[in-house]
C-alpha cells in the first residue's frame, strides 16, 4: 500500500517493501534502498514494519472523521475553501495557456504574411512556401482546437 511513498528518515531515499512466504503478515517491512544498494556506511541499515504506517494512517483517518463529525460545518467550509482555491489556480493556469495560444496564433499570422511576401518577391521558392504554409496552418489549427480541450 505504501510502496513508492515511504522514504528513509536519514537519507530520504525510497524504502523497499519486503515480505516472505515464511513471514507472518505482521513481519512485513520496508528497508532503506540506499542501505541495501550502497552499504551500511552510506546509510545505516534500518527498517519499519508495515503495521506502523498503516496504524498511523488509520489513526489520522479516525481523527479526521471525528473532526468532520464533530465540527461538520467548519469542516465543510474548510474543504470548500480548499476546493475553491484549487479551482482558481487551475483556471488561472488555463487562462495563461489560452493567452499563450492566442499570441502564437497572431505570430503565425504575421509569419504567414511574411513568407507570402517573400514568395511573391521571389525570395522563397514555391515548394518551400508550400511546406511552411502547411506547417503554420497545422500549428494554428492545433492551437485553435486547444482552448476547446481546456474546458
Round to whole Å and give the CA distance between 19 and 33: 15
- Domain range for 103: 86-150
- The share of the chain scoring above pLDDT 90, in percent, equals 55
Residue 13 DSSP symbol: -
121 part of a folded domain: yes
Q: Tell me, what's the pLDDT at 148?
A: 59
Residue 131, C-alpha cell as written in the block:
511546406
Residue 2, C-alpha cell as written in the block:
505504501
Lowest mean pLDDT among 17-31, 75-89, 100-114: 17-31
Residue 47 DSSP symbol: E
Across the chain, mean pLDDT equals 88
Round to whole Å and give the CA distance between 151 and 145: 11
1 part of a folded domain: no
Number of domains in the chain: 2
64 part of a folded domain: no
Segment 39-49 mean pLDDT: 79
pTM of the model: 0.52
138 part of a folded domain: yes
Round to whole Å and give the CA distance between 141 and 118: 23
Amino acid at each position: 500500500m505504501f510502496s513508492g511513498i515511504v522514504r528513509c528518515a536519514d537519507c530520504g531515499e525510497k524504502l523497499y517493501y519486503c515480505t516472505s512466504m515464511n513471514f507472518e503478515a505482521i513481519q512485513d517491512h520496508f528497508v532503506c534502498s540506499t542501505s541495501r544498494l550502497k552499504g551500511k556506511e552510506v546509510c545505516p541499515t534500518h527498517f519499519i514494519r508495515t503495521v506502523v504506517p498503516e496504524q498511523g494512517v488509520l489513526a489520522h483517518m479516525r481523527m479526521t472523521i471525528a473532526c468532520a463529525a464533530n465540527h461538520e460545518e467548519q469542516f465543510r467550509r474548510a474543504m470548500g475553501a480548499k476546493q475553491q482555491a484549487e479551482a482558481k489556480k487551475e483556471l488561472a493556469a488555463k487562462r495563461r495557456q489560452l493567452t499563450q495560444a492566442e499570441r502564437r496564433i497572431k505570430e503565425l499570422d504575421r509569419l504567414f504574411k511574411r513568407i507570402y511576401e517573400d514568395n511573391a518577391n521571389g525570395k522563397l521558392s514555391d515548394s518551400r512556401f508550400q511546406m511552411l504554409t502547411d506547417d503554420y496552418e497545422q500549428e494554428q489549427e492545433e492551437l485553435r482546437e486547444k482552448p476547446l480541450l481546456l474546458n
